[in-house]
Amino acid sequence: MMLTLTAFYINQSTDDIKHNSTIYLAQHGAEAEPAYSIRHPDPSLPASKNRYAAALYDSYNPEVLFGEVLLIPQWTQPSPTQEEIRLNGGVPPPPQPILPTEFTVQLYNPDQQVVVKQRPKTWNSPPSWEFEMPQQTFRRPSASALDRTQNDPTAADTTPKINFKWKREGTLSRDMVCSLSGKSTNPDGSKRKNREPDITIALFKHLKEITLYEPNLNRVDMEDPKGLEIVLLLSAAIIRDVYYGQMRETFNITEAPRRSSNGAVPGNKMASAATAALYIPPPPLRRHSRSPRSSSAALQSQNTPSNSSFNSPLQKQTSNSRPPPTDPRSQWEIDTETARLKKQVEHEERERKRAEHKEMKRVKKMVEEEEREAQRKRAEIDRETERLRREYLNEQNRLNPQVSGPPLPQRPYTPSGSSSGGLYGGGGSSLRPDDGRRLCGKLSIFSLRSNNGGDAPKLSKKRSAVF
């Protein structure tokens, strides 16, 4: 008789979202069909920085949330050298993440937390991941009010638990086996050799295929086999992503750019002054049901995958502003961005003052050149004016030549009332009637005599031609 096993295949999501996955179920030789969907928060959202989150939803009813995991790493501050600080522009190096050694799977309806702890490898054993689940999960029906006040069996310390362990098959192999840890046969449980053998219940092949051994699962004494199935699927996916993947990609850690001495990032000449990173922490966990019938009313307000890539409470954001998270990496990014912006502002201020000083020198030099040019033009105008004056003066002298010889002396001016009399009596005025001009001799009416003095020739009597 051929044994048919139940197999789950983790493939890329059918909605073409890179950070989501779909789990297909193949059972009893039938074709593989979608059974679950694993959703991760959008890496581009600020709330998904420096953390890892995954949620398991029903594939046909995307509002039903079965379980989820939120993993925030611890951080360590390295001791940098002076050379590293100088190469990083005076900014200390960023905190480095520490790989977590455990994570918690949160189940709903009933609420239950399953802690998966990592056991590091040794020289003779591969690494393993152990977890335990209670045998009794649900409350027993009771009409007693006292019974209803008791804690759930999952939270009670008296509830017996079963141990499970994921372990690598070999040192070089990446396949893992999940087995039910055997119970010790000693009363005190001190000797390991006296215990039952482990029972293999699941196999994780090539980090893509999870095969469940149903005959062995029937030997597990548990009330909640569905919860065990969800824990197996989620824990296998978390181990694959966190412990076998790249840590920076898994936790969405942004690589810190190397900065120059002035705080500028190479390749980014100008950065906006309002680019300080503000990270919004996820809201607290909300309880959802693993049962579609009981959880449909509480999840009506959530979006479908067509509108949101991850509807888990880990990724939900509200419109109200929230304070930034307190993890060292985010705080370092905020401090680094603040220091970079401060240095950038100081650098821009120095550049502005340098540009203003350069502009003032340029304007001063331009004004001096304009003054020299104005002086040169005035000098040219003066030279041209002098040349024209001389040219016109020479032309005037050529047209109106002056009389050669020394100038005549002027007569002295005597004021009125002086003692010396004039030529014409006691008037006292020295002015002549002719105003200094020589009087011409006046001829008589018959032109026979002249009144002039002896300078003119005297008239003589004309002699008769007869006598």
Confidence grade of residue 66 (pLDDT, cut at 50, 70, 90): very high
**CA distances in angstroms from 143 to 109, 147, 153, listed in the order given:** 21, 8, 17
Contact 26, 275 (CB under 8 A): no
**Banded model confidence at residue 362, pLDDT cuts 50, 70, 90:** very high
Least confident of 129-143, 227-241, 354-368: 129-143
CB 241 within 8 A of CB 33: no
CA atoms of 104 and 235, how far apart (whole Å): 9
**412-456: pLDDT as tens digits:** 655 554 444 444 444 444 545 555 555 555 555 555 554 555 555
pLDDT confidence of residue 202: 93
Residue 2: strand, helix, or coil: coil
Query: For 95-99, what is the mean pLDDT?
Result: 87
Predicted pLDDT of residue 305: 40
What value does the CA radius of gyration of the chain take, rounded to a whole number of Å?
Answer: 59
Mean of the pLDDT values across residues 35-47?
90
pLDDT at 410: 64
Q: What is the pLDDT of residue 275?
A: 36
Question: Apex CA 150: angle with CA 141 and CA 217, to 5°?
Answer: 60
CA distance 219 to 7: 19
Give the tens place of pLDDT for each residue, 238-282: 999 999 988 888 898 887 655 554 444 544 443 333 333 333 333
pTM, entire model: 0.61
Given a cut of 60, is residue 148 above it in pLDDT?
yes
Pick from 312, 246, 266, 247: nearest CA to 45: 312
pLDDT recorded at residue 198: 86
- The predicted-structure confidence for 323-341, as pLDDT tens digits, reads as follows 455 678 788 888 888 888 8
Contact 65, 299 (CB under 8 A): yes
CA dist., res. 376 & res. 74, Å (int): 78
| Helix, strand, coil content of the chain in percent (nearest 5) | 25, 20, 55
